[in-house]
Amino acid sequence: MPDEQLWSTRLIAEYAYCPRLFYLEQVEGIDIPSADTAEGDYIHRRVAHPGQPLPDDAETPKKVSSLTITSRELGLTATIDLTEISGHNAVPVEYRRGRPRKLSTASETTAENGGERQVVEPWPTDRIQIGLQCLLLEEHGYKVESGIIYYAAEKRRLEIKWGSNLRAEALSTLKEAQACAGGPRPPPLLNSHKCPRCSLQPFCLPDEINYERPIGAPEDTSPRRIWPPREDGIQVIVQQEGTRLGIAGKCIKIEEGNGKLLKEIPITSVESLTLVGYVQISTQALHRLASRGIPIAYLSSSGRLVAMVDPLDSVSANVRRSQIKILEQPSKCLELASALVSSKILNQRTILMRNHPNLPDGVAEDLLGSARVAGEAASIESVRGAEGQAAAVYFAHFHGLLKEPFATLFRKNGRRRRPPPDPANCCLSMAYTMLTHECTAALRLARLEPSIGIFHVSRPGRPALSLDLMEPFRPLIADSITLMALNRGELTEGHFQSTAAGCLLTDTGRRIFFDLYNRRMETEITHPVFKYRLSYRRMLTLHSRMISAWMVGDISSLSFLTTR
Ligand code: SF4
C-alpha cells in the first residue's frame, strides 16, 4: 500500500508566505541551510526534546516540548515546539527567532514603560500555523482556546485566539496547499521584498526566472543581485600521495602518512573536496561531509575522474522526472543542444580573436557560421556536425595562442586526449576533468541527474549532462587556464614529465595548476543578460539551475554565457 501523504503545519503555513517556497521544500525536498535557519535552530534548542511523555495525571499541568501530533483525516502533522497541557486543555506555543509584525499606523502607551509602543501582531504565517496546530489538538480531544507565538528577538509572547475565523483560514490554506502540491511548480514572487531573505533564493532564482518568463519583469528591470558573486566556502583539493583525511571536532584534519598534521579546515567552510591519487579518507569524514551535502571527487594521479561521492539529499524526484520527460522530446533536446553548442562556438571564436596575434582571414567568419548553423539546426546530428567542424577549425589554430616551445608541440600533435602527448594537451585534459567535476556538483545542486545528457550520449559512468553543461565554459575556463599557465610562465617544461601515461604534471606542477584553476573559477565576470557580476564557479551554478528551471517549465527558453 502506498504511503499516505502527511503535510507539515510549518510548510502549509509557508504556503501562505510563498506558494513556491512551500512547493520547493515540501514537494521537491529542497533544503538550503542559511545563517537564519541556523539561528532558528539555536532559538529552538530549549524546546527540541522529542519523545517526552504526555502527563499521566490529567490534573497536573505540564509543558511538553516537541510534541508530534498527526491527523490522517486532515493529512496533517505537526511537531509543536511547546504544548502547555492542563487537564483536557492545551495551548500550543511556537518559538520564532524574529520579531512580530508592526502595525505602522497604530501605537499605544503602556503603563509599564510609560512610553509609546508600537502595536504588534503575529505574522499571518504564524497565525495559520497556530490555527493548524489547534485543529490537530482538537482532533486529539483537547479543548483549545488560544495559541501563543514567542518572538525571541523581543522576548514577547503574543496570544492568538482560536475560533471560527482562524479555523476557516487554516482549513482553506491547507486545501489550497494540497492542491498546489499536485500541480506544477508555482512561479516565483515578482520583485518581492521576501526573496532577499529567503534561504531558497539561490535555488529559486526569482528575479532571473521572472526575467526569462514571457510575462516576466518589465524589460528595463534587470534582476537584483541577491546572492553573493562568489562562494564563501573553500574548494579543497588534496593531492599528496599517502595523505590522510579524518575528523577532529568540527574540522577536517589533513595529515601526512606519518601522522604529521598538515591542516585543519572547519567543515562548515568546505564547499567541495577533490582527492587526487592515493589519498585516504576516513568513514567518519565521509559521513560528516555527506551530511552537509558536500560532494567528493576522486581523481587519478593523471587527473582522470574516477568516482564521485554524491550525498543523497541532492535528489529530487520531481526534477528528475521532468528531466526524463524533456529528454524524450526531440525538439527540446535540440533546443538545449543548439543553445549549448552555439554559445561554445561563439566563446571559441572570442578566445581566438582575443589571443591570436595573426588569426588568418576567414577563421572568425567560419566559426560565426558554425555557431549560426548550430543555433538554427533542424536536428541534433546537424548540431554535432557544426560542433565538430568548429572544433577542427579552433584547434587547428590553437597553437597560435601558445608561446614556444608549447606552440610547436601542439601544432605537431593537435588536440589529443589519451594519452596527452605534450604540456598544452596535458593542461587542457586536466582542466576539462576539473570542470567536469564542478559541472557535476553544480547539476546535483540543481537536483539534476548528471548521467542523463542530451548532446553527449549517455553511457555507463559518463556524466553526459555535465559534459553538456561544460560546453560553453570549456573555452572560457579550461582553455584560458591552459593559456595563462603556459604563456605567463606559471608552468614551465620542468613542471611536466614524460610517462607511459603520456605527458603529466609533476607534484609541484599540479599544485601550481590547481591554484591557477581556483583563481580562474573565482574570477568574476558580468552576466550578459542579468548584468550582475558572478564568479565562473557561480556561473556554473546559475546555468545548471536555469537548465533545471527550463526542464520543470519555469522558463520557456535557454541561453548560455558568452563573452565578447
Ligand atoms: S526566493 Fe522568493 S519566490 Fe523564491 S521561494 Fe523564496 S520567497 Fe518564494
Q: Where are the beta strands (DSSP E) in 249-304?
A: 251-255, 261-266, 270-276, 280-281, 296-299
Taking CA atoms only, the protein residue closest to ligand 1 atom 2 is: 195
Structural domain total, the chain: 3
Taking CA atoms only, the protein residue closest to ligand 1 atom 3 is: 188
273 C-alpha vs ligand 1 centroid, how far in Å? 30
- Same domain assignment for residues 329 and 450: yes
- Same domain assignment for residues 270 and 325: no
Atom of ligand 1 nearest to the CA of 24: 5
- Same domain assignment for residues 284 and 316: no
Name beta bridge partners: 307. Answer: 298
Q: Are 203 and 30 in contact (CB under 8 A)?
A: yes
- Same domain assignment for residues 428 and 459: yes
Q: What are the φ/ψ torsions at residue 64 (nearest 5 degrees)?
A: -110, 120
pLDDT at 415: 87
- Same domain assignment for residues 424 and 369: yes
Residues 6+ apart with CB under 8 A from 275: 238, 239, 245, 281, 296, 297, 298, 299
Q: Are 245 and 253 in contact (CB under 8 A)?
A: yes
34 C-alpha vs ligand 1 centroid, how far in Å? 14
Which residue segment(s) compose the domain that 266 sits in? Answer: 234-294
- Residue whose C-alpha is closest to residue 469's, from 487, 486, 450, 483: 450
Q: Among 169, 184, 199, where does a domain finish?
A: 184
pLDDT at 383: 93
Separation between Cα atoms, residue 111 and residue 128, nearest integer Å: 31
Separation between Cα atoms, residue 275 and residue 237, nearest integer Å: 6
322 C-alpha vs ligand 1 centroid, how far in Å? 21
- Same domain assignment for residues 389 and 433: yes
Q: Are 140 and 67 in contact (CB under 8 A)?
A: no
22 C-alpha vs ligand 1 centroid, how far in Å? 9
Separation between Cα atoms, residue 157 and residue 147, nearest integer Å: 10
Q: Are 195 and 29 in contact (CB under 8 A)?
A: no
Q: Return the SS3 of 205.
A: coil
203 C-alpha vs ligand 1 centroid, how far in Å? 9
- Pocket of ligand 1, beta carbon within 6 A: 18, 20-21, 24, 188-189, 192, 194-195, 198, 200-201, 204, 206
Q: What are the φ/ψ torsions at residue 262 (nearest 5 degrees)?
A: -95, -40
Structural domain includes residue 299: no
Structural domain includes residue 217: no
419: cis peptide before it, omega within 30°? yes
Structural domain includes residue 450: yes
Site to substitute for ligand 1 among 14, 15, 18, most atoms within 8 A of C-beta: 18
pLDDT at 314: 56
Atom of ligand 1 nearest to the CA of 198: 6
pLDDT at 236: 81
- Same domain assignment for residues 147 and 276: no
Atom of ligand 1 nearest to the CA of 195: 2
- Same domain assignment for residues 275 and 335: no
Structural domain includes residue 220: no
Output the domain CATH number for residue 289: 3.100.10.20
194 C-alpha vs ligand 1 centroid, how far in Å? 7
Q: What is the DSSP string of 444-489?
A: HHTT--TT--SSSPP-TT--HHHHHHHTTHIIIIIIHHHHHHHHTT
Output the domain CATH number for residue 66: 3.90.320.10
Structural domain includes residue 564: no
- Per-residue H/E/C for 365-403: HHHHHHHHHHHHCCCHHHHHHHHHHHHHHHHHCHHHHCC
Structural domain includes residue 211: no
- Residue whose C-alpha is closest to residue 549's, from 69, 186, 279: 186
- Same domain assignment for residues 267 and 360: no
- Same domain assignment for residues 179 and 241: no
- Same domain assignment for residues 31 and 109: yes
- Same domain assignment for residues 353 and 249: no
Site to substitute for ligand 1 among 17, 189, 226, most atoms within 8 A of C-beta: 189
Question: pLDDT 10s digit of each residue in the chain, 564 long?
Answer: 345 678 888 888 889 889 999 998 888 877 765 555 555 555 555 555 555 555 555 566 688 888 888 988 888 888 898 899 888 899 999 998 888 888 765 555 555 555 556 788 899 999 999 999 999 999 988 999 999 999 988 888 999 999 999 999 999 999 999 899 888 889 999 888 888 888 888 888 888 888 887 665 555 456 666 655 555 566 788 877 788 999 888 888 888 888 888 888 888 778 778 888 888 999 999 888 888 778 788 887 766 777 777 776 656 677 788 888 888 888 999 999 999 999 999 999 999 999 888 888 889 999 999 999 999 999 999 999 999 999 999 999 999 999 989 999 999 988 888 788 899 999 999 999 889 988 988 888 788 888 888 888 777 767 889 999 999 999 999 999 999 999 998 999 899 988 877 888 888 998 899 889 988 988 898 888 888 888 898 889 889 989 988 988 888 888 888 887
Structural domain includes residue 193: no
- Residue whose C-alpha is closest to residue 340's, from 547, 478, 556, 539: 547
pLDDT at 53: 54
Output the domain CATH number for residue 342: 1.20.120.920
Instruction: Dig out the grid coordinates for 71 from the structure.
Output: 491527523
Structural domain includes residue 205: no
